[in-house]
Amino acid sequence: MDEPRWVGARVSRIDAADKVTGRLKFMSDLSFPGMLWGAVLRSAHPHALIKKIDTSKAEAIDGVVAVLTHKDVPGLNGFGIVVPDQPVLCFDKVRYMGDAVALVAATSKEKASEALRAIEVEYEPLPVVDDPEEAMLESSPKVHADGNIHHHIKVERGDVDAAFREAAVVVENTYYTPRQMHAFMETESGVATMDEDGNITVWCGSQHPFRDQLQIARALGMNPRKIQVVSTPTGGAFGGKDEITVQIYLALLALRTGRPVKIVLSREESAVAGMKRHPMKIRMKTAAAADGTLLANEVRVVADTGAYASLGGPVVNLAIEHSCGAYRMPNVKLEGFCVYTNNGLAGAFRGFGANQVIFALETQIDMIAERLGMDRLEFRRKNALRQGDVAALGHTMTASVGAVATLDAASKCEIWVRREELKARPSAPHKKRGVGIATELHGCGLGVGLPDYGAATIELLPDGRFAVGVSCPEIGQGNTTAFAQMAADSLGCSVEDIVMVSGDSRYTLDSGTSTASRSVYTGGNAIRCAAARMREAIADVAAEALGAPREEIAFGRGSVEARSCPAGEPTRSAGRLSFREIACIAESKGRRLKTEGDFIWPVADRGVEGYFGLPHLIYSYITQVALVEVNTLTGEVEVLRAVSIPDPGKAINPVGIEAQSEGGVVMGMGYALMEDTVIEQGITKTPNFSTYIIPTSVDAPEIETIIVEELEPSGPFGAKGIGEAVCVPITPAITNAIHDATGIWITHIPATAERVYMALRKQAGEPAGA
């Protein structure tokens, strides 16, 4: 094949013009004739038994078309990616404030809210379970009948106790991480319609239309073929739309009323009912030898998964997998608990368990380096995994490994090289500057033991363009642009000749989720496969039409030609056929050229017995560096500059990587410094953006992205994935920079001004309240 022309180029997003002009319609922008407004009655208590539900007054309201309760769920009254333990509509009890108790459809939004208020539910409140560690006790009230420990994982390798005895340095600390909110711009929203034949279409932002289709079908007791799910474009997801959000409610209401129904969650409802990042308490004990070799890591994670399982178990598994980061760690004892409480809901969130443990680990790493008097970067480089190494969970790192390469690049970046000089010049005498560094690896794909596959379709359109279908939705990350670039180079045409079809269960094949840093790798490989088949199909048509042997057909840009003409014969223009001409010729014979491609993920050479989804074979790598300034009088921390050095394998679109990198830095910075969904006694205290604080553009530092490409042979054009890693090490890079500036260690994030100030005072030896 020719040199790639589109892959690796700074291509502007194929959806850019529609997005910036506002032409693009998100699902929540859709309207249909006769459309009703749906609304969800949420629980009035964080934990209570339901004694009685009376909907008669609501039904009597003029303009109210349907009121549904658990009795109206025709199929399985439950959903959940791993175990369907979350009721579609609660019947016996409620377990968090976001629990759905009833649905209404009405002719206006106002009527729908009025109907919600008219529904009478009698509850018997139960004690609220809000502390995960207490929840683990036998004596705790139960959120679910079979106990509050939803999932427990334990992995041991080597002998940590012996290592701790022999080690020169052992550090042990407890870390606390907050309940971060995805804060996507489009809340969980969508529309469902039903046709005369009873087929339902659900238009709703999400991350896996085919799994949504399955979960909707299961709840409706309907054949999945009668349900179409469309989830591109999604106005941001970050994992928060991996699980079912409002799809089943929409489908139930459309089924009942036969009319289009729309639900748009308010920001407050989204904040209360929606997914969050698991708060974790992490105990970590890490040891190193005097020469700086890491010897052992003992980790205990307790994760608050809230009321239902969703992906809590897999998140904890990945926390365990990532808890030794990008380092060789010969002895490990790792244990994780995923615990039910009445604190909202936690599940998938960009980073998927790594953010929490990497914050803990990378702090431990800095502490050990300091104790050993070693340079922080050198210490990391010394212990970083190389290709061929055995990783902490015992699998062999056979895929591309960019840990050292990203650290090497970090050692040359300006804020690292000039760190002493930058630190010496704070903007005021009471301010202190510091530079911090952190690194991680990040598993791509679903890991050992879970079906992980991709599929793509390519169709030659009559005008000579290609329709390329991949189901992984466009959730804002830019995967459709990357797909179009890879398709263009695989087919030998221009990106403008690619029409992407994405996130639609009717018009694409199941290619899995847009999660787990997997969609570019998966979709790209499936596209490569489908494109090779398309080229064969085109060559067949061309050979026949040109009367040339099949092997003689060569591909140019947008055309094919018979390579050698018989000697003496002048080159005929007829010896060349454009893709459009190919389409015409095929059409005239009553054919449409359409191919399918598939792909199955390779996996690590060994799993962890008894558990699924870990470890991974392919990882992306990233090192991030931050320059911060701490106001020692108020505890305020300003991130002045950040350098982000990802190894995504081949950067299919460098602009896309930069955008991911910059967004990731700001998201990880919010996690480090300000974000936390506060829930007290089961009640969310920060339900909107005036109380839940995220960084604004003014808070964002100057961000430089340096892409390091460690090509992955199994990836399309050498690509891996990068969507998650970009938001992970920046958090400990910032907290380590605070240490570098002031000497205090941050073990509890977010590092708010109060926390930093109090730690400074404690360091100075002043008692609190002085």
Choose between 223 and 696: whose C-beta lies nearer to another protein: 696
Paired residues of 194 in beta bridges: 200
Of residues 444, 639, 304, 574, the one with CA closest to residue 562: 574
- Least separation, in Å, of the C-beta of 541 and another protein? 57
CB contact at 8 A, 144 and 312: no
Phi, psi for residue 509 in degrees, rounded to 5 = -95, 160
- Least separation, in Å, of the C-beta of 759 and another protein? 11
- Least separation, in Å, of the C-beta of 10 and another protein? 30
- Least separation, in Å, of the C-beta of 349 and another protein? 21
- Least separation, in Å, of the C-beta of 63 and another protein? 12
- Least separation, in Å, of the C-beta of 693 and another protein? 5
Alpha carbons 64 and 365: distance in angstroms, whole number: 60
Residue 110 exposed, middle or buried by CB count within 10 Å (0-12, 13-18, 19+): exposed
Binding site for another protein (CB under 8 A): 109-110, 113-114, 117, 266, 268, 427-431, 631, 633-636, 674, 690, 693, 695-699, 752-754, 757-758, 761, 768-769
Alpha carbons 424 and 436: distance in angstroms, whole number: 15
Token pair recorded at residue 510: 């199941």
- Least separation, in Å, of the C-beta of 393 and another protein? 39
Choose between 117 and 572: whose C-beta lies nearer to another protein: 117
- Least separation, in Å, of the C-beta of 434 and another protein? 17
Choose between 174 and 266: whose C-beta lies nearer to another protein: 266
Choose between 65 and 538: whose C-beta lies nearer to another protein: 65
> Which amino acid makes up residue 733?
A
The rounded radius of gyration (Å) of the Cα atoms in the chain is: 27
Residue 84: CB atoms within 10 Å = 18
Token pair recorded at residue 147: 């106990």
Choose between 373 and 769: whose C-beta lies nearer to another protein: 769
CB contact at 8 A, 494 and 558: yes
Choose between 305 and 631: whose C-beta lies nearer to another protein: 631
Choose between 117 and 225: whose C-beta lies nearer to another protein: 117
**Beta strands in 160-215, from DSSP E residues, in sequence order:** 169-176, 189-194, 200-204
Choose between 497 and 629: whose C-beta lies nearer to another protein: 629
The secondary structure of the chain in percent helix, strand, coil, rounded to multiples of 5, reads 30, 25, 45
Choose between 22 and 769: whose C-beta lies nearer to another protein: 769
Can you give the length of the chain in residues? 770
CB contact at 8 A, 93 and 49: yes
- Name residue, tokens 């060349």: 576
Longest dimension (CA), the chain: 99
Of residues 359, 352, 438, the one with CA closest to residue 671: 359
- Least separation, in Å, of the C-beta of 682 and another protein? 16
Backbone CA torsion sign across 231, 235, 238, 242: negative
Q: Pairing mode, if any, of strands 227-230 and 261-264? A: unpaired
- Least separation, in Å, of the C-beta of 729 and another protein? 22
Choose between 324 and 759: whose C-beta lies nearer to another protein: 759
Cα distances (angstroms) measured from residue 692 to each of 99, 227, 239, 545, 730? 21, 37, 19, 65, 20
Choose between 268 and 463: whose C-beta lies nearer to another protein: 268
- Least separation, in Å, of the C-beta of 639 and another protein? 11
Token pair recorded at residue 394: 């015992």
Element (H, E) at 641: strand 637-647
Choose between 18 and 110: whose C-beta lies nearer to another protein: 110
Alpha carbons 115 and 57: distance in angstroms, whole number: 8
Task: Say how far residue 633 (Cα) sits from the centre of its chain.
Answer: 37
Q: What is the DSSP letter of 343?
A: S
- Least separation, in Å, of the C-beta of 768 and another protein? 6
Choose between 290 and 768: whose C-beta lies nearer to another protein: 768
Choose between 185 and 768: whose C-beta lies nearer to another protein: 768
- Least separation, in Å, of the C-beta of 419 and another protein? 21
Of residues 673, 654, 651, 663, the one with CA closest to residue 724: 663
- Least separation, in Å, of the C-beta of 429 and another protein? 8
Residue 185: CB atoms within 10 Å = 8
- Name residue, tokens 């808890």: 323
